[in-house]
Amino acid sequence: MPTRITRDIDIRVDAKYEAVHSDPKMDQFVFSYHIRIQNHSNHPVQLLSRHWYIFDSNGQYKEVKGEGVIGIQPIIPAGESHEYKSYSNLKTDIGMMWGNYLMKRMSDDQLFEAQIPEFQLITPSRLN
């Protein structure tokens, strides 16, 4: 499970191919990913926005930016975590993603970026 720690914010990603929602004959490959953001700092933080870089194996590249995650800007108390699931559509059976979250330390409104680790999006058939 890819993990990255930035300023005591631990981000872990678990990605999975969603065969039921994919259609390889139409070049549609759906991958879900589960994100866990653990706050190891002594201060509550708020996730303000996300910035994703998404690549597939035919060279297509997308950037996705937006407020919060899945419609919210969660506050993560010191020592606690926030988890969510989302998905990405690719036109190929192999790809990768990474990015960052803009975070705010609630005690002094200091902004910083927490890095999301790079993770692979690969269909099980490519692993054999």
In a domain, 44, yes or no: yes
Q: Residues 33-62, buried b or exposed e (16+ Cβ, 10 A)?
A: bebebbbebeebbbbebbebebbbeeeeee
Per-residue pLDDT tens for 25-37?
Answer: 999 999 999 999 9
In a domain, 58, yes or no: yes
Tell me what the mean pLDDT of segment 12-25 comes to. 97
In a domain, 127, yes or no: no
In a domain, 22, yes or no: yes
Q: Global pTM?
A: 0.93
CATH number of residue 68's parent domain: 2.60.40.1470
In a domain, 63, yes or no: yes
**Burial grade of 2 (CB within 10 A; 0-12, 13-18, 19 or more):** middle
Nearest to 48 by CA among 73, 65, 72: 73
Per-residue pLDDT tens for 35-91?
Answer: 999 999 999 999 999 999 999 999 999 999 999 999 999 999 999 999 999 999 999
Q: Which domain holds residue 10?
A: 3-122
Whether 96 and 119 have beta carbons less than 8 Å apart is answered as yes
**Residue 1 confidence (pLDDT) above 90:** no
Spatial separation of the C-alpha atoms in residues 58 and 68, rounded to whole Å: 29
Q: What is the dihedral of CA 114, 117, 118, 120, to 10 degrees?
A: -140
In a domain, 128, yes or no: no
In a domain, 90, yes or no: yes
In a domain, 45, yes or no: yes
**Residue 128 confidence (pLDDT) above 70:** no
Count of the separate structural domains present in the chain = 1
